[in-house]
Amino acid sequence: MFSSRFALKIAVFDPTADPSTPPTATLGSTGPDYAALVRFLVEPFLESPGSLKVDCESSPSRARVLIRLAFEGEDKGRVFGRGGRNIQAIRTVLQAVAQVFGHSVHLDVFGGQPGSSDGHSDERSHPPPPRSQPRRPTRSG
């Protein structure tokens, strides 16, 4: 599905890496740095990137990766995007990288409610359901 050259470019992703460092220096023994990849993909959408919290758990025996993402509630709309397009694109990139390494990845997003005192809640944030198209009037005649 992916050429090995393309897969290698995905596998060595490290936004903080020195460009003069050989790519193999950024590879971990178990796979890519999913937390850094999520930060790279999500931070441009945030008003305050400092509020971003990323937790990554992996199960080497089952090749599963669980990524938890939390940020301020005001940024929820930008991160999800219209109809959930942005968050779906982020999930697609994560799944492509995971597939190269034979992993299965799941992204959970937690967002704060704008009115809450600490800015975070324990409720999961889900993208809004897609809007149905308004009905157009039919011509009777």
Check residues 140 and 77 and name the one with the higher pLDDT.
77
Could you give all domains of the chain from N- to C-terminal order, each with its CATH number?
4-17+25-111 (3.30.300.20)
CA distance 58 to 40: 19
Residue carrying structure tokens 């800015």: 119
pLDDT confidence bin for 117, thresholds 50/70/90: very low
Which tens digit of pLDDT belongs to each residue from 4-39?
333 334 444 555 666 555 443 333 455 789 999 999
Against a cut of 0.95, is the pTM above it? no
Give me the pLDDT at residue 63, please.
Answer: 87
Please give the C-alpha separations between residue 98 and each of 6, 41, 91, in angstroms, as whole numbers: 13, 15, 10
CA distance 103 to 128: 28
